[in-house]
Structure 1
Amino acid sequence: MIDAIRILKSGDNDDLKNLIQTFNIHSRDADNNTLLHHACLLGNVEAVRLLLDSGVHANASNIDGQTPICDAALSGSAEIISLLLNSKVDVNPPSYWGSPLIYATQNESLHAMEVLIEAGASLNSPERSGLCPLHIAIQRRFYAGVYLLLSKEEEESRESD
């Protein structure tokens, strides 16, 4: 697995293509992460494409319940999030540390937040200490995120009336 992760980090997608043909792409590291988790965390869009095309399980969870979409949100890659959503991943996976929207908010990745919200991410799903995305955006003085979350909450409120 270590050699496979090195290839992901190098960004050499020709090596990755060769690896996919000889390596068990469903292998996991000590924390139960797959290569797709690592590719998402690294923000390697092409590697994510190759792995998804090779049939890797896009909703695989690690020991904390994090799925690759959580790692994509951690990296702030809206493009990878979109690729995963096209593979029908759960936008609200049960994770010990928080939701993908929590991670995108913590990283102040507005575009990633927009993609997640459009896909149905829960606006009020708290992280481990009880903070929701709006609380986090306010704490960080991430005003674009605050505005986005408040406007989406208002939209949801109007739709439910």
Structure 2
Amino acid sequence: MKALVPDELVGDAITRAVGGELRLTREARGISRLQLVSRLPSGIGERTLLSYEHGTRQLTVLRLAELSWALGVDAPTIFSRGLQRARLLVENLTLVVDLRALLNDERVTFRPLAQWARNLLNDYPDGIVEVEPAVVQHLASFIGCTRSELANHLAHFTPDSGIEKQENKATS
């Protein structure tokens, strides 16, 4: 039996998502394209970098690693943050969530998350937490929705400012 490929993997959605996250990360660090390409041992040009950032050219794993290194961020973080922002395959990701933005959400289905978010702010005063897939599953069971529904909801609360500190973990 042939395995079905999720719709999100068809086409260029992942290429655009990861490229967009590269651009956001570069901009958040105040680095121009020219500055970034000058840091790379591969010698790619600005136009190549531009095509990666716009998702018109696919990144190899090696090139993603090289660009990530030059930006001072690990490649898996750029990859997963790009997927989260594009809301692709989010139920299998560790989601980075802005608790303050989540507290402003008024959807009734997800209202029980408000107390969870308020409590976490005591431990994470910057308001940014990482939520592992297992935690998403437990929270979904608590509020009465599917893991997929909750993961897609939480993905809407991706922090706006590029790559934040990766030290925060929500484990409860």
Which category of TM-score, normalised to the shorter sequence, fits these structures? under 0.3
Structure possessing the higher relative contact order (Cα contacts under 8 Å, 6 or more residues apart) = 2
Report the TM-score, using the length of structure 1 for normalisation: 0.27
Larger Rg: 2
Greater strand share, 1 or 2?
2
